[in-house]
Structure 1
C-alpha cells in the first residue's frame, strides 16, 4: 500500500483516521496509519495536554490535527449564547422536558461561550497555534478554505495543510487558498457532507486538482473500499465512522450500542446538530428538529452546535442511566458504513483488517486480468 503520500509523510499505510479520541489517534498511528485528532472538543489548554499525551505514545511517528473553521461570526462584546433566539431556547427546553431529560447545566453560560469560540476563525487559529508547538505531520481544515493566517503558520512550521471538500468547485478553491492535500468526502460519509457520492466525487477531484494529492472519504470501512478508492486515483483514505465502535473510541456506550444495531438506512443528513448538513444517526433529536411542526428549524453554525452540544451534556448521561427518552434522543455523527459496523474491535485490528482486505481485493482483481490458461497456450495444431 505504498503511495506517494505514504513516502511524503513517512507512514506505512495510507489510512488516515479522524477521531476526537486521542487513544484512537495513537493506536492508528502506532499501527502504521495516520491518526488525526479532531480539536474542536478541546480548549487550547486541553488540546496541548492531549497532544502531549499523544507525543509520548507514538514515539515520533506522524499524526495530525483537524480544526473546524465554519466562517465568520461577529460576536464582539456579546455573549455567544445571547445570540440564540428565544424561540429556539423554548423549543429545546420543551423537547428535553417531553423526553424526560433535565435541563443541561451550563448550556448557555460561560462554558458554552468558550465552546462556541472554538468554532470561529480566531478560535480555530488559536488551536492551530497550539498544535504547531507539537511535532504534528498535518493540519486539516474541516469547513471552508483554510484562513490565510493558518496557512502561513503551517508553512512556517513546514506542516502540510489538508482540506475537506464535497464538490470539485470547493476543491479548486481550497487549492487556491493553499491546501497541500485534498480530502474528497462523499455524501455517504459521517459528519459534514455535500450531496455527491464518493464514487463520483473522487475521480473528478483527482482530475481537477492534480498533482495535488487526494484522499477519498465516505463509505470506507473495509479493504475492498480502500482498493476502490485507490483505483479511483486517490493516494489514500480518510476514515471516521469505522473508529466509532473500536475499543478505544470516545463514543458513549449507549450510542455505540445504537451504532452496532443500525443499518445503512438509519443515517440522515441533518442540520439539527451543527447548523450545517451533517450525516448522523437518525434519532428523536433529528426527527424533532427536522420534522416536528413545532420546530423553529435549526440555527446556523455555531449557534445550533452550541444548543446541541449543551443538550447532549444532559442527554448522554441520562441515556447511560437507561432513561428511555434520553436513549431515543442520543445519537452521533456516522456515515452509511454504519451498516458494516457489527462488533467492537481494537483500532489496531481495524487498520490491519483494512490492509489485509485491500491485499485480497487487489489479488482478486489481478486474477481477473490474467488470461485463461487454456486460451494463453499457443495453437500448435497442423
Structure 2
C-alpha cells in the first residue's frame, strides 16, 4: 500500500517517500546516500570535492550498495574563474589575508598539515569535467547546489536524467525553472551550508506559486515529520533535508575512509550537534567565500573580529584557509571543530542510523495525517 505522503514528484523520481537527502559535501557520501535511498527516500551524494576519477568511483559505490534511485549534487556557481591552477589563483590572495591566517595559526597553535593538499581548485573547467562524469554515468538525479544548471539540462534529459536546481529566492526560482529543470529546491535561510536570507516558511509558498507546474522542494530547518507535513502544506512536493542526517552514523563515513576526516573529529562533531541549540549556528563566508550556515566555533568567531580582513570570493577563501583547517583537524584542536549545520540542529538528541531518521519522519507525518488530514501536496 502506497504511503499517504506519496506525491507526484515521488512518482517522477521513483521513490516511496518525499524525503531527499541534501547533497552535503563531505557528510553525504555514498554510504549515507545509499542508506536513505534504501529507506525509501532519495539519497544524494555531495560531490563537489571529488575529482572526475573519484566521482566515477563514488557513483560505482552507491550502485554497489543500492539499486534504488539516487542523485549527485555539484556546485555550479557562475561567479568563478573559467580556469586556472592553484598556484595562479593563490597569487590573487593578498599579503594581508595570509598574515591574518598566520596569526590564527599561531594563536590556536595550528601545525602545518602532514601533506600539501593535492586538489585542483574550483573553476568552471573543473565543474564541467564533473558534469561530464554525471552525464556519462547517467546518474538518475542531478542537483545543482549553486548556480543555474540550464546549460546541461538538454543533455541530462536526453540521458533520461532528472535535474534539480537549488535557490534562495523567488527571482532565482523563476530563472532556474525557465531552464526546464524538473524541480526547484526552495532553500530557506535556516538551512545549513550555502544558504540565502529568506525564511523557509515565507519562501516555499512563494516559489511554489511562482514556478508551477514545475515541482517545488522545501529545504531549511526541516528535521522531522512535523517539518515534512508543514512543507507539503506550503505547496512543496518533497523536502531536501541535510542537518537531520548529520546526526547519523553514516554521516562523514566515506570521508573518514578516504582520510579526509577521522574518528575523533566525527565524534566531536556529533557531540556538538547533540549539545546544540538553535542559536549555535551562524551564517558567514569564512569557509568557502559564499554565505554558509555553520556551527559557531572559535574559527568563525575569529573571522568576525574587527581586525579580520574581508573574506575572499570563492574559490580564493577556501584556498586561503584550507591548509590551516586541515592542520587543525589533524592536531585535534577541539575548539576549531565545526562544519555546516542548520538551525534545526537543536532537535538532534542522539546519533541514529539514517534508516531510523527516515522511518521516524514518515511515521510522525503519517500520524499527523490521521489527525489533521492529508496536506496539499500529498
TM-score, structure 1 normalization: 0.88
1:103 Cα deviation (Å)?
Answer: 2.3
Distance 2:128 2:98 in 1: 29
Distance 1:7 1:37 in 2: 21
Distance 1:145 1:357 in 2: 34
Does residue 307 of structure 2 align to residue 294 of structure 1? yes
Aligned to 1:228: 230
2:322 corresponds, among 267, 289, 309, to 309
Does residue 58 of structure 2 align to residue 50 of structure 1? yes
Distance 1:153 1:105, change over 3 A: farther
SS in 2 for 1:177: coil
1:70 corresponds, among 58, 69, 77, to 77
C-alpha offsets along residues 9-39 of structure 1, whole Å, 9 cap, x if unaligned? 1111110002432111000001110001011
List aligned pairs for 1:31-46, cutoff 5 A. Answer: 31-46=39-54
Contact 1:121/1:147 (8 A) holds in 2: no
Does residue 365 of structure 2 align to residue 351 of structure 1? no
Aligned to 1:158: 160
Larger displacement relative to structure 2 (18-27 or 34-43): 18-27
C-alpha offsets along residues 141-176 of structure 1, whole Å, 9 cap, x if unaligned? 11121251x223312212121111110001011112
1:287 Cα deviation (Å)?
Answer: 1.0
Contact 2:143/2:163 (8 A) holds in 1: yes
Distance 1:358 1:11 in 2: 17
Query: Which consecutive unaligned segments of at least 5 residues does structure 1 have?
Result: 320-325, 368-382
List aligned pairs for 1:179-218, cutoff 5 A. Answer: 179-218=181-220
Contact 1:281/1:333 (8 A) holds in 2: yes
1:76 Cα deviation (Å)?
Answer: 3.9
Contact 1:106/1:310 (8 A) holds in 2: no
Aligned to 1:327: 334
Aligned to 1:377: none
Aligned to 1:22: 30
Higher relative contact order by CA 8 Å / sep ≥ 6: 1 or 2?
A: 2
1:248 Cα deviation (Å)?
Answer: 0.8
Distance 1:90 1:217, change over 3 A: same
Contact 1:93/1:103 (8 A) holds in 2: no
1:229 Cα deviation (Å)?
Answer: 0.3
Contact 1:52/1:134 (8 A) holds in 2: no
Does residue 247 of structure 2 align to residue 238 of structure 1? no
Aligned to 1:372: none
Aligned to 1:104: 113
Contact 1:263/1:339 (8 A) holds in 2: yes
SS in 1 for 2:239: strand
Distance 1:196 1:27, change over 3 A: same
Q: What is the root-mean-square deviation of aligned Cα atoms in Å?
A: 1.7
Aligned to 2:277: 263
Contact 1:184/1:217 (8 A) holds in 2: yes
Distance 1:185 1:132 in 2: 25
C-alpha offsets along residues 216-240 of structure 1, whole Å, 9 cap, x if unaligned? 0001110011000000010000001
Distance 1:233 1:51, change over 3 A: same
Aligned to 1:91: 100
Query: Which consecutive unaligned segments of at least 5 residues does structure 2 have?
Result: 253-264
Distance 2:222 2:306 in 1: 36
